[in-house]
Amino acid sequence: MPVSIKKEKIAQGVSFTTITDKKFKTNVLKIKLITELSENKAPLNTMVAMLIGSTNSRLKTYSEMSDRLNQLYGSSLFTDTTKSGDCQIITFSADCIGNKFTFKDEDILEQLIDIAEDCLFSPNVENGKFDKTEFALKKRDLMETIEAEINNKRGYAISQAQKSIFKDEPCAYSQYGTLELVEKITSEDVYNAYCDLINTSVVEIYYVTHEENNTVCKRFANAFSKLERKPQTLRFQTISPLKEEVCRTEEKIDVKQSKVVLAFKSSSDDMNACTILSGLFGGTPVSKLFTNVREKLSLCYYCSSVYVYSKGTILADSGVENENVGTLTEEVINQLDMIKKGDFTEEELTNTKLALINNIKSVSDSPSSLIGWYFAGYYKGNIISPEQGIKDIMSVTREQLTEAANSFSLDTVYVMAGNEKSVSDEEE
């Protein structure tokens, strides 16, 4: 049986997508609350996610929650906070095995949905505040998460670079906020943020199951319809304006290896061509950055690129010895210039397409990757099947690719300069 996709509006600003695929033995539910990314609200929303993902009005401690989920054949429930462009996304996830795979055909799905509903609509709150103990624990966890960001030097460099690349745009902010802001947060603040999030966010719900079942959709339709929702009007793509002059920023850090991030911006609306461009440039194992800059020239430890559709930006990042920063920067720019001139072979183009196609083919391997595919399509305003995605990639011509490449201009060069005398461990 082919994969069945059904999307329907179930409440104001709330959509429910059911993906039915018989090869899966688990039911996977992901509820995405999408809101504006704001410097002040980001840590509050993250705290909301952490609190509603660990307790509710019935299961008031993490221990109680964990024990109850274990009783349901090791079901899981967790939350995550990410950012995409100028939006912050709170993802509430729950999964369990299908009822027919239990010993006595137990209805564990309904029991898991009961828990999920309580987490979302009846959190562990009293007198307009989240539970004091749980609040303190999660606040400490969030502060530790922020403090630990610097330990992943590659991720930290990209995060720091975005402050310059997207200056004065929401995308410049962290999805977690800053230590200073987190320290000031109160339990009452977080509850107010919860109320705002549940009533004003744009909600996309995805449910992957092995058999047709409309019960879950009806449950959440009923729950969300009881709210007086006034969802925000969000823009999922806000092209970042190109700076009049290239911004060059350097930050010192106590590590041996320097990190370099280059941002190239464009207003091209050819999404498929830009995707292939990034793949040919540095987004695949057959890319120019990998084969030429890393392998042939041995200028760096890693060098790759990613196309940030929501901002019309390609980010290229690299780990490099201090003395090679300048040469590396010039060579990364040179590799993009080569593509602009059409200096790439048909074999390189074909291999790039095949690498991207292989990634698309793997989408159907798991419920989470399927959800990721369809949510990305929603975000880009182009909801298509993986099969159509493959066709779209294959249809992009050499001319489209060079045209897309020529639309990109260098915007920012960020260098996290290392210290040759440092003894700090390198973590990419």
Q: From first to last of the 428 residues of the chain, give the pLDDT tens digit.
A: 568 999 999 999 999 999 999 999 999 999 999 999 999 999 999 999 999 999 999 999 999 999 999 999 999 999 999 999 999 999 999 999 998 888 887 899 999 999 999 999 999 999 999 999 999 999 999 999 999 999 999 999 999 999 999 999 999 999 999 999 999 999 999 999 999 999 999 999 999 999 888 899 999 999 999 999 999 999 999 999 999 999 999 999 887 789 999 999 999 999 999 999 999 999 999 999 999 999 888 888 999 999 999 999 999 999 999 999 999 999 999 999 999 999 999 999 999 999 999 999 999 999 999 999 999 999 999 999 999 999 999 999 999 999 999 999 999 999 999 776 654 544 44
Residue 29's nearest CA partner among 82, 84, 81, 75 is: 75
Helices (H), 149-178: 153-165
Residue at token pair 């210039």: 337
Question: How close are the terminal C-alpha atoms of the chain, in Å?
Answer: 42
DSSP reduced 3-state for 111: helix
Q: CA geometry: angle at 12 spanning 8 and 18, to 5°?
A: 25
The pLDDT score that the predictor gives to residue 423 is: 47
How far apart CA 121 and CA 164 sit, in angstroms, is: 39
The pLDDT score that the predictor gives to residue 425 is: 46
- The per-residue pLDDT for range 387-417, each reduced to its tens digit, is 999 999 999 999 999 999 999 999 999 999 9
- The per-residue pLDDT for range 250-283, each reduced to its tens digit, is 999 887 789 999 999 999 999 999 999 999 999 9
> Beta strands 409-417 and 313-320: pairing type?
unpaired
Residue 317's nearest CA partner among 260, 391, 258 is: 260
Sheet containing 409-417: which strands, arranged edge to edge? 247-252, 409-417, 258-265, 313-320, 302-308
Let me know if 329 is exposed, middle or buried by CB neighbors in 10 A (0-12, 13-18, 19+): buried
Amino acid at 317: D
Q: Which residues contact 367 (CB under 8 A, 6 or more apart)?
A: 19, 21, 24, 26, 28, 95, 208
Residue 312's nearest CA partner among 381, 237, 373 is: 237
The pLDDT score that the predictor gives to residue 190 is: 98
Residue at token pair 């194992």: 285
Domains and CATH numbers, the chain: 4-225 (3.30.830.10), 247-417 (3.30.830.10)
The pLDDT score that the predictor gives to residue 428 is: 47
> Beta strands 247-252 and 26-36: pairing type?
unpaired
* CB-based contacts of 423-428 (< 8 A; 24+ apart in sequence): 423/256, 424/254, 424/255, 424/256, 426/153, 426/255, 426/256, 426/257, 426/319, 427/151, 427/152, 427/153, 427/154, 428/152, 428/153, 428/154, 428/301, 428/302, 428/319
Average pLDDT value for the chain:
94
User: DSSP character for 78?
Assistant: E
* CB-based contacts of 389-393 (< 8 A; 24+ apart in sequence): 389/360, 390/357, 390/360, 390/361, 392/272, 393/272, 393/275, 393/276, 393/353, 393/356, 393/357, 393/360
Distance of CA 291 to the CA centre of its chain: 27
Amino acid at 325: V
Q: Pull the structure tokens for residue 314.
A: 């390609």
Q: Kindly report the pTM of this predicted structure.
A: 0.94
